[in-house]
Structure 1
Amino acid sequence: MNKNLKKLFFVLLTLLFTLTIFARPAYIDPKMTSGRVFDQRILDINQINTYITNFAIFAQDVYSGNNSGLYWPAGFPQETYVFGAGVWVGGIIENDDGTADTTMSCGYYPNSASTEFVPGDINDASPDRPTPYNNPWDIVYISTSDNYGQPWPLKTTSGADSVVSMQDSYTEFNDMDLSYRLVPSSIPLEIEVKQTTYAWVGPLKEDIIFLKYDIQNKRSDKKDIKKCYVGIGADNDIGNEAQDAANDLLGFIDTMTVDYAGVKDTLMQINVGYQFQLESEAGWTHFPGIVAYKYLESPKATEPIDLYHDGSFIIPAGERIGMTTFNYFTIQTDPSDHIKRYLVLAGYDHTRYNPNDPEASYRPFPNWEIGVPGFPGKTEDPTAAGDKRFAMASGPFTLMYDSTATVIIGIIISKNSAEMLDKMLLAQQIYDQGWLGPVAPGQVNFDVVGMDKKVVIYWDNAQELIPDKYYSLVSDTTLPIYNPAYREYDIEGYNIYKSRTGAGGTWELLAQYDKINEYTILLKDSLIYYNAAAARYETTYYYDTVGSNTGIPYYFVDSNLTNGIQYYYTIRAYDVNFNGYAVTPSNDTIGTIPLVLEGAGKTKAAVPRSLTSNIIAGTYDLNLVSGNIDTSLIDIEIIHALDTLVEKVKNDTFTLTFGLAERSSVDTTLPAYPYTITNKNGDTVIQDIMDLDTLWVNNEKIIVLPIEKYNPYSGFIFKINDFKLDTSGWTNKDNSTFKVSVQSGLYDSSILKVENIDAARLFYHNSKEYIITWHEVVYPTFTVVGTDTFLPNDTNLTVTIYDVDNNIDIPYSNRVLGDNWHFNYSTTAATPEQCPRYLKESSAATAKVGLYFSGMKISFNYTTRPNAIVWESRPKDGDTWVVKVTPNDSNFVMTYPPINSQYKFTVTPATFAEVTESTLDNIKVVPNPYVVRSELDLDYNYRRILFTNLPDKCTIRIYTLSGDLIATINHDVEISITKDNKTTTAYDLTKGYAEWDVLTKNDQIPAPGIYIYHVQTPNGETKIGKFAIIK
């Protein structure tokens, strides 16, 4: 709501923004005013929606007439909590004559809603800028926006976009414009401020916004800023605070005993100031919450600080200062000049400051007691309710010339004080653990290759192998944000985009790919909806399920393109996770509140072009090395992938190895076969799993969906077109006899019984013989190994099981059914917790009944039904049992799944054939005739004529009809690149064209007419033709 006394800055902006502030869209376009780009935008990713600017003011809607600009929850813009706020920085400049100037730069002055900062950095007039203070990139950048076509300014060391949260923002401003000084006689500090914000969604954290200020001393006289204080000045109006409606109260928390990071009763410096009220607001759906500001990072003390000026609390030099001031005032007592505002930052009551007795007014923190029961720390008495402002600061310290001080503050809104405490601790934990929160995937590695009238796009799966950092936080059962449904590896698919220019707003979606698993969703759109039960607006997602579970081919062909035209592409990974979880009546944990995030993407350009006329494509050969797989049932294809490489593909030999069966993520009753591809050095180039999808009951064949995986920098795509398991060649209880015998030891073979389990047969190794060896494990003292507990001198039995046919050991796992072993005879009623690795006399009866392994089970004591093992005659260390499987039909032909099978294949790179006369027959000039402003011209001053269908190397000479040589073009697919003082050879193996810029060797535009071209190869082959230029 407007306040009558908050008009001065609006009057100023009205003059600046005349003819520009009407009919503004949701995101304000940057406007050029007084030679500056004044930009205002809104942060809206989570429940706190707030305006920010590039001139230091935040939480105020400046463009609408200085209205309150921070509301909560999302969808309730009338429920506002902040009228305006901004960074405050004060300090003392020592003059050469021994005097000193006390000054302060104010990011938001409540009484006039004004600022002393202007957009951009101090060097805004440097030579690399187009016009001083007229730069289109001095805007507010938001990571979820196209930023008016400007690239994201923050980069990692590798050059990728640096985005920390689900919605970052970034802007820069400085205090050097003297016309913006609130007190004309005051001098600027000459500082440059880089402001960054972070925000996440999800329980608790969706009600927090983080502000980071990097404040740099850029003084032209290179002097230090002494006794410097940095902080926030805020006018937090909860609803209507005008006149009689003013009813806000303040509170602050210095230290508090809390349970933090798993440690109980921790005395913790909280550093929080907050504002609340005890009355409802007219027209609000919700009862007003609490708005809190928490210091998370402050500058370090440059010398010891006597916080209370009495020696009772000293902050040592080198330590973080923390919040040293929580000062407050009202609309009637706003600090009216830079000296009074500096006093506020320094902890003095400016309304009664006496320079002859300054300590009498020193009040770094209010002297309140517990004014309102139930609110933490100290608060005002309810009788003091009114229109409040406060400043919280950190200092004093010396901000040396060219050094930077960092302040990080979290703004937190909560329904009540208990929730506020949880959110404060979560904000601290997110900061302490390096900004851990849900974040979009990183940039995808990809390449684009221009081919004839098409572009081929290849990408890798590196992002899929990176765990979500936030998992380490939400998997902690001691934290209030514990979420067992949160996925550690959550990349779900990829979106491919295309643009003719690469500019913002020009991108179109080419393709979407979704992994084959239980998550069959592609994010299409989202909607803010009203949750009546929670009395708040929340985000729900609509999902496009068309083409879901498509699988990921890792390459895409964009066809029907025009040769010679440049196209831009980007690939963005997206993930699927869950912000909440629920427990079903059957005690299963399921994810709720789906969270889908799309990452940023690199941009790469490609030009479709004619191919080199003498290229010979790369080849491969594939051979089975070992294993029992029926090779007629698997169709593997190796595709020579990258025809254009930074480094030429070298001959390499790769090994493909299948692992033990796991459960298919598509259908958990079916198996999946992991596989690894390594190069000749043993390095892994592909590691993935082949999920079986369909069981054909009639002929007992399982078919895998076509899958394609690749590592482009190894030069191939590995593709399984078809995969079948012919289970008709597998033994089962109907076509074979199963027998177990005791080879050594005293256990009675006659009470043993072995069975084949139909439900588990897909995980069956299908071996004719298994050897079970028993082992005793005894520890002299109480011992814990992993999840297993061993009592002193207690006998524990375990086994190893060797699959003779497949030459492997079957691994232990507590999966009830799978390609593994465990103790427990039941394969229907058992749970993983009832499937141990060790047997002892005190083991549960279910575990002592029998042994499961790879689709079979043995009862230890079978009479009329399975009974527990006879412990007195139990197997001893080294005893062996043998299980034999004999087909009833002597003509039965056994087939095998691919476990432990290996292939080898060699990739041979592309080469070039010797050029002959016929190789040059198809050389053409495009366009012919050439007309000025052809579609191939990049702009009016950059004309292009293409020579197409060229061999890998040749020289093109262009002549007039009179025989004058006007241009020479040397075409070669092999070029040298110098990087970091090193020269390497690069290849563009399919570049069968060359460009002419339509300039003579003297940089003149040739006259209209007919021209002759002559193409010559190194081996002497030639081609002569002609083309025309028309104006």
Structure 2
Amino acid sequence: MGGGFWPKGTANQYVFNSGLQVAGVIGGIRSENPWAGDTASAMFLNFRGNHHGEQVRPIYNSTDPDDVANWPAAAYVPDQPNEADNLFHPALRGRLAASEGDVWWLTWDGNPLLSVDRLHPLGVLVEQRGMAWNTPSGNQDVIYFTHTIYNITSTRAADYVGVRPAMREILLEKAREFQELNNAASGFTLPPEGYPITDMHVAFAADMDIGDFRSDYASVNLPFALGYAYLHDFSQPDDWTFDAEIFAPPFFPGAGIGGIKYLQSPRDSLGREVGVTVLGAFSSDLNQDPASSVQLYRYLTGRPDPAVGDPPCNAGDPKLTHICFINKGPPGDMRFFQATGPLTLPPGGFESVVVAYVFAAPVAAADCAVGCDVTPGDPTILGDAARMAAGVNPIDSITGYRGFADRNGDGRVEQSEFEVVPGSLLGKALVAQAIFDNGFVLSSTAPEAPDFFLIPGPNQVSVLWTPSATETAGDPSFGLVNQPTSSGGTPNLMFDPNYRQFDVEGYRIYRGRVDTPSELRLIAQFDYANTFMVDWRGQVNPGPGCAPELGINTVTVVDGDTTFGCRVPFDSLIPGVAPTVSDTHPLVGPVVQVKLAPEGRQALATGAAIIVRSDTAGTGAASGCLAAAGPNREQCALRDSGVPFAYVDRGVRNDLRYFYTVTAFDVNSLQSGPASLESPRITKAVTPASAASNLETSTTTAVSLVGRGTILDTAVATPGLDSATGRFDGPFPPATGFEFGLVELVQALLPASGSVTVSLDSLQLGSAYENGAGEPGTPAIYFLTASTGSSTSQVQIPVLQDQAAARTSNSTYLEAVSVEEASARRFGGREGFRLHGRLDLELPGNYYTSAWGRGCVNRAAGFAAAGTTGCEYNGARWFDGPSPQRNETKSDPQGAHPPASATPGPTLDLDNAGELTAVATIQMPLAYETAEAGYRAIEGVLGGAQRAADFNLFWGSDGRIDSVVDVTHNVAVPFDSLRLAGSWGVLNQAATAAPGAFDGRPGVLTSMDFTCVEPLRSFAAVQGSYPCPAPAYTLSRLAAPGPIAIWDQAATNATTAAVRPGAGFALYVSGNVTIFELTSGLPAAGTVWSLRTYVGAISGGRGAAGDRGPYTFTPAPRPLTAVGVELRLDYQAVNRVVAATENDLSRVHTVPDPYYVTNAFERTTESKVIQFVNLPADCLIRIYSSSGILVALLEHHSTTFGGSERWNVLNRNDQVVASGIYFYHIEAGDARRVGRFVVVNFAR
């Protein structure tokens, strides 16, 4: 019964059986080794049926969850001590699997009882690994096998030093067993140091039954080291189907070709691989299978002896032609072997051969269509350039041959010099060779599967997972595609600048009632927020006007505005040259990619490009997501949801068995493979159940805001605003614009108590107007550190502030609680899992943090309170401190403001920000109030650092500011000399002496000099109106008064405003720019200045703009921008099993009751199930008939705190119980209870 079917999902059989055959001569001298000189073999495949192989380790499958849970150390992708022995790319070594589906097993020939057709064992152990992928194109139809053959005849550990440790122990164990078994069986004593195996030849033998197994031919392509078989007329056998995508032109719908190719074989004295040293193809009808070790050795070495009954060769001298026998007569049941060698294995030595099974559709040829009868012809033509030039065999064309050119001029015919049909047998063979040559790293590689475990609960299942190892290791294919040239300096044909090294985009959770991966349904998808793809060739979200490789960058002129088809001026594509211009695309929403021309797009006569083939990340056909999502198609979209690493599925029912898997998916360049690949779906089973009736659980959590170790009171009322004076009566309470908590409260995993802290380390300002009015700008980024116990992690949250009144927010997930190993193992997990928290940060619109003037002009909410007619009198205010011991003293602190306007009138009094002793003028520029509307671009930057708080500025001696303290949040404000952020710093006139500032006055300080301080100096929205080509200005801790000018109305007035009578300086404090004119000298040491800022809107008031009614304040959420402040989450949990009571047992019952023939718990008609529910964690259940006979005894011991137990409705004799009334007796410690239930069964 065969087992090799292709394509996947069809009943088209190609392989009946196949396997290894090994033969060689035992070395040594007879006096020291009784087997010396013997010809021995190991026929792991023996067509006569007497196989010599025996299992050492069973087959492990990386897609089988049970196998993965018990994966042997030796089965991980090898990392051999000697680099020359490594078959795998360094990025794959140490991984559980090298492909999307690995199989691994060990077999040996050392059992002397398995010696039919031989005198005794050869003494080898073979490590075998099979691999398969679904990508790239052509590779779906290839299966790879590595065969590493070890000489295990020596019991000396030193002989195995070249073997990796995990494998070494197995080899030594089998070596000792080999010696013991064979010494006992033979009566001889083999040398404990073993013996070499010389002149060893290895063959891969196959019985490729394609279609009608009696009508096949077999042949070989020697330059490709490829033996293959095919149905002689390529007809369509009964019940066969042909996939139109595979068998479309240039192929035809006929039975395909199955081949086996050597990807690695032994090398000759010149270091060249020998490939196939001899091939023999025989019909089973001729009974020519080797009958002994000696005969097999003659076959594999190409030295058959007709005098002793060997079949003669018909293809010339095998030493020259490398072919012994080819069937040139009628087709038959063909078997072939393809041998390679010779090898010499010393004791403890090993060698590897690597093969690929390759399957392909037949290529349409001029002299063949379906129904043609094609013989192998003369396969010796291939390899002889002169004869190939005269024409090859028809079967060679059908396998994909299109020509040959000796490109390197060495006179040898090599596979790399063939011209082949892509997708043909030869085309796929070259793909397989390239993949092996790259160490089995593909041009695009799926992520490794994440580890996960399941926690059953009442009508729910909690799923916890860890990040895929690919998140830290990166995509192993990146090293193949990221350089424009190869190591030799030639262009790298695989170069793909769009390829992402760290490409894991998110995770998917699937659920099903069976463990078949294709039957699972997507129930949730999470993708990382704020990820991007950098596009260097116009391939992401493409339009018809942009195709750099075709020279297309269409210019469109609309109303005098010239718009190019490409968003950036991409470089021309030059092989071997890295591009220099890129465009960045956020990975959210539809992300469409196209391959380069001609495969992905082509030029039209109109000058535009037409997209021929594209793929959408996540929802494209290659991802497979839509098929698994069913009606929940929106789950497949990229939404920037963040990844919580925990999910609670509440769509399940108690006592039913479910299968889950968690996969990692990536987003990467379509040029190198599918836009998105997914890790294997490895399932785990779980049965949700009610909790044990004697389980006590409770959880309490509390979130605090902490400043320098002190818990802050966020519930304090907002200070009152005096309706007559416009003075606040005290400082504002701490921030409220956040939410912090555990993502999913997985009760069973929480320790008894603990805490998680998140501190705001720093912030980076964004620009609300960076992309123009009405368009989203760039976000401010808040950098935080999360700490729990000894574990810390860093996260960042970008928040894009709205230009107007809308609130905006963003969130991140962070590691919060380390799951105790004992708790994890209770549910099948391990150490290293963590429960995550979620932190949301919110920013109010820019109207409420900085752009009060624009909010006023637009009459936004809060700026037009009842009883008021205007809102010009907004702004922060300074006063003599310290706060809170002292308070504001100036009435109508912004009374100097004129009526709000995009072009405000002159400010009669430039003093608009409170009052301080010995300070003549305090001014804060405000758009629409004291400054032109364009100044809002600066306010759109500063709003990301604004907070509602009182600050105390402590003066030291000689103008030095000792510190600035945020009184509201009880944190010190950090000094920053280089950037405006959540910090403070002094801008002195001396720091602005470099020419180039917008005001053009290096000898005079104005507030416009701040546009030369980062990040204002780098934001296009600011520099477009207020350019500063000067070197960046820096801030100081020391105030050095110098000439200042204070401007109002148009910003250009900064270039001409009169120098003030008094000297001064400017100061930045967390989102607030102030310029001070002093009346005399600097404040004395010990002086405290206080600044009060708020977030919200003031309407009413009186001053230069008129009487607007009573001052009225409307608060807005106070953002968490105080650098240094901490959020702390404290939790307490109870998870304990107490002694069961009779009250606990009172809720026990059976489901269903009555039991009527069958129910939803039963998966087959043969299995019967009754559930006992609401049980304590440990108890005995005795079931009695109505006459008092004990029917069954169930022991319930739940390690997962479950309260359900299943009865198979069988009595103690394994018979289905009869219909009737049954009683159960529950015993749990000192508690007892009796209940009853009814069973109705069909009579049997």
Shorter-chain TM-score: which interval?
A: 0.5 to 0.7
Which of the residues 1147, 1150, 1163 maps onto 1:922? 1147
Structure 1 letter corresponding to 2:24: G
Deviation at 1:597, TM superposition (A): 1.8
Q: Is the 8 A contact 1:946 1:996 kept in 2?
A: yes
| 1:905 aligned residue | 1129
Q: Does 1:469 align with 2:576?
A: no
Deviation at 1:651, TM superposition (A): 1.7
Cα deviation, 1:937-967, whole Å, max 9, x if unaligned, reads: 5778875543322455666565666777777
Deviation at 1:207, TM superposition (A): 12
Which of the residues 352, 366, 386 maps onto 1:406? 352
| 2:634 aligned residue | 546
Which of the residues 451, 454, 462 maps onto 1:456? 462
Please identify the structure whose Cα radius of gyration is greater. 2
Q: Decide whether aligned partners of structure 1 residues 769 and 397 sit closer, same or farther in structure 2, where only a CA change above 3 A counts.
A: farther
Cα deviation, 1:925-948, whole Å, max 9, x if unaligned, reads: 222234565544577887554332
| 1:380 aligned residue | none
Q: Decide whether aligned partners of structure 1 residues 934 and 630 sit closer, same or farther in structure 2, where only a CA change above 3 A counts.
A: same
Which of the residues 942, 945, 966 maps onto 1:765? 945
Q: Decide whether aligned partners of structure 1 residues 658 and 328 sit closer, same or farther in structure 2, where only a CA change above 3 A counts.
A: same
- What is the SS of the residue equivalent to 1:546? helix
Structure 2 letter corresponding to 1:549: L
Q: Decide whether aligned partners of structure 1 residues 546 and 820 sit closer, same or farther in structure 2, where only a CA change above 3 A counts.
A: farther
| 2:699 aligned residue | 618
| 2:99 aligned residue | 165
Deviation at 1:164, TM superposition (A): 0.8
For residues 315-326 of structure 1, what are the structure 2 equivalents within 5 Å? 323=273
Q: Does 1:1028 align with 2:1238?
A: yes
Q: Is the 8 A contact 2:110 2:121 kept in 1?
A: yes
| 1:572 aligned residue | 663
Greater per-residue helix proportion = 2
| 2:837 aligned residue | 718
Rounded Cα–Cα distance in structure 1 between residues aligned with 2:764 and 2:16? 54
| 2:254 aligned residue | none
Rounded Cα–Cα distance in structure 2 between residues aligned with 1:1028 and 1:432? 66
Rounded Cα–Cα distance in structure 2 between residues aligned with 1:890 and 1:875? 19
- RMSD value over aligned CA atoms? 6.9
Q: Answer with 478-487 or 149-158: which moved more.
A: 149-158
Q: Is the 8 A contact 1:458 1:712 kept in 2?
A: no
Rounded Cα–Cα distance in structure 1 between residues aligned with 2:939 and 2:54? 73
Rounded Cα–Cα distance in structure 1 between residues aligned with 2:49 and 2:69? 19
Q: Is the 8 A contact 1:494 1:572 kept in 2?
A: yes
Q: Decide whether aligned partners of structure 1 residues 941 and 723 sit closer, same or farther in structure 2, where only a CA change above 3 A counts.
A: same
Q: Decide whether aligned partners of structure 1 residues 928 and 348 sit closer, same or farther in structure 2, where only a CA change above 3 A counts.
A: closer
Rounded Cα–Cα distance in structure 2 between residues aligned with 1:468 and 1:204? 21
Deviation at 1:623, TM superposition (A): 0.9
Q: Decide whether aligned partners of structure 1 residues 152 and 866 sit closer, same or farther in structure 2, where only a CA change above 3 A counts.
A: closer
Q: Is the 8 A contact 1:327 1:365 kept in 2?
A: no
Q: Is the 8 A contact 2:841 2:1119 kept in 1?
A: no
Deviation at 1:908, TM superposition (A): 1.8
| 1:397 aligned residue | 344
Rounded Cα–Cα distance in structure 2 between residues aligned with 1:940 and 1:206? 38
| 2:797 aligned residue | 690
| 1:257 aligned residue | none
Q: Is the 8 A contact 2:594 2:600 kept in 1?
A: no
Rounded Cα–Cα distance in structure 2 between residues aligned with 1:954 and 1:707? 41
Q: Decide whether aligned partners of structure 1 residues 1017 and 812 sit closer, same or farther in structure 2, where only a CA change above 3 A counts.
A: farther
| 2:506 aligned residue | 493
For residues 366-377 of structure 1, what are the structure 2 equivalents within 5 Å? none
| 1:45 aligned residue | none
| 1:11 aligned residue | none
Rounded Cα–Cα distance in structure 1 between residues aligned with 2:495 and 2:943? 34
- What is the SS of the residue equivalent to 1:510? strand
Q: Is the 8 A contact 1:620 1:906 kept in 2?
A: yes
| 1:638 aligned residue | 742
Q: Is the 8 A contact 1:91 1:225 kept in 2?
A: no
Q: Decide whether aligned partners of structure 1 residues 878 and 691 sit closer, same or farther in structure 2, where only a CA change above 3 A counts.
A: closer
Q: Could you tell me which runs of 5 or more consecutive residues in structure 2 were left unpaired when the two chains were aligned.
A: 77-94, 153-177, 184-189, 207-217, 229-247, 252-258, 283-287, 307-315, 323-335, 359-399, 409-414, 419-428, 487-491, 532-585, 603-611, 627-632, 713-732, 768-774, 821-833, 854-874, 877-909, 913-933, 954-961, 967-971, 986-1008, 1041-1064, 1076-1089, 1096-1117
Deviation at 1:331, TM superposition (A): 10
Deviation at 1:720, TM superposition (A): 4.2
| 2:973 aligned residue | 807
Structure 2 letter corresponding to 1:398: L
Q: Is the 8 A contact 2:951 2:1091 kept in 1?
A: no
Q: Decide whether aligned partners of structure 1 residues 636 and 232 sit closer, same or farther in structure 2, where only a CA change above 3 A counts.
A: same
Q: Is the 8 A contact 2:263 2:436 kept in 1?
A: no
Q: Is the 8 A contact 2:203 2:339 kept in 1?
A: yes
- What is the SS of the residue equivalent to 1:618? strand
Which of the residues 686, 701, 704 maps onto 1:606? 686
- What is the SS of the residue equivalent to 2:496? coil
Deviation at 1:434, TM superposition (A): 8.2
- What is the SS of the residue equivalent to 2:668? strand
Q: Does 1:91 align with 2:14?
A: no
Q: Is the 8 A contact 2:850 2:940 kept in 1?
A: no
Q: Decide whether aligned partners of structure 1 residues 722 and 867 sit closer, same or farther in structure 2, where only a CA change above 3 A counts.
A: closer
Rounded Cα–Cα distance in structure 1 between residues aligned with 2:1019 and 2:443? 48
Q: Is the 8 A contact 1:168 1:197 kept in 2?
A: yes
Deviation at 1:399, TM superposition (A): 6.0
Which of the residues 213, 224, 227 maps onto 2:198? 227
Rounded Cα–Cα distance in structure 1 between residues aligned with 2:761 and 2:138? 42
How many residue pairs end up in the alignment? 743
Structure 2 letter corresponding to 1:474: V
Deviation at 1:901, TM superposition (A): 3.4
Rounded Cα–Cα distance in structure 1 between residues aligned with 2:130 and 2:145? 6
| 2:523 aligned residue | 510
Rounded Cα–Cα distance in structure 2 between residues aligned with 1:963 and 1:617? 41
Structure 1 letter corresponding to 2:198: K
Rounded Cα–Cα distance in structure 2 between residues aligned with 1:850 and 1:942? 78
Q: Is the 8 A contact 1:812 1:820 kept in 2?
A: no
Q: Decide whether aligned partners of structure 1 residues 207 and 950 sit closer, same or farther in structure 2, where only a CA change above 3 A counts.
A: closer
Structure 2 letter corresponding to 1:396: L
Q: Could you tell me which runs of 5 or more consecutive residues in structure 1 were left unpaired when the two chains were aligned.
A: 1-15, 31-39, 42-50, 57-86, 109-114, 130-136, 236-245, 253-271, 276-282, 300-306, 314-320, 352-360, 368-388, 581-591, 740-753, 772-800, 823-847, 976-987
Deviation at 1:923, TM superposition (A): 3.0
Deviation at 1:653, TM superposition (A): 1.6
Q: Does 1:671 align with 2:780?
A: yes
Q: Decide whether aligned partners of structure 1 residues 696 and 855 sit closer, same or farther in structure 2, where only a CA change above 3 A counts.
A: same
Q: Is the 8 A contact 2:804 2:847 kept in 1?
A: no
**Structure 2 length normalisation: TM-score?**
0.47
Structure 2 letter corresponding to 1:633: G
Deviation at 1:397, TM superposition (A): 0.6
Q: Decide whether aligned partners of structure 1 residues 225 and 122 sit closer, same or farther in structure 2, where only a CA change above 3 A counts.
A: farther
- What is the SS of the residue equivalent to 2:462? strand
Q: Decide whether aligned partners of structure 1 residues 118 and 726 sit closer, same or farther in structure 2, where only a CA change above 3 A counts.
A: farther
| 1:839 aligned residue | none
Rounded Cα–Cα distance in structure 2 between residues aligned with 1:811 and 1:462? 40
| 1:519 aligned residue | 587
Structure 2 letter corresponding to 1:323: E
- What is the SS of the residue equivalent to 1:654? strand
Cα deviation, 1:962-1005, whole Å, max 9, x if unaligned, reads: 777777766565x5xxxxxxxxxxxx24x233445657789897
Greater per-residue strand proportion = 1
- What is the SS of the residue equivalent to 2:689? coil
Rounded Cα–Cα distance in structure 2 between residues aligned with 1:251 and 1:274? 11
Structure 2 letter corresponding to 1:992: G
Structure 1 letter corresponding to 2:522: L
Rounded Cα–Cα distance in structure 2 between residues aligned with 1:993 and 1:723? 45
Q: Is the 8 A contact 1:618 1:911 kept in 2?
A: no
**Structure 1 length normalisation: TM-score?**
0.55
Cα deviation, 1:514-557, whole Å, max 9, x if unaligned, reads: 44443347999999x994999xx999653657341342444444
Q: Answer with 429-438 or 1006-1015: which moved more.
A: 429-438
Deviation at 1:345, TM superposition (A): 7.1
- What is the SS of the residue equivalent to 2:676? strand
Rounded Cα–Cα distance in structure 1 between residues aligned with 2:848 and 2:806? 10
Deviation at 1:444, TM superposition (A): 1.9
For residues 962-981 of structure 1, what are the structure 2 equivalents within 5 Å? 975=1199
Rounded Cα–Cα distance in structure 1 between residues aligned with 2:52 and 2:119? 20
Rounded Cα–Cα distance in structure 1 between residues aligned with 2:1137 and 2:911? 61
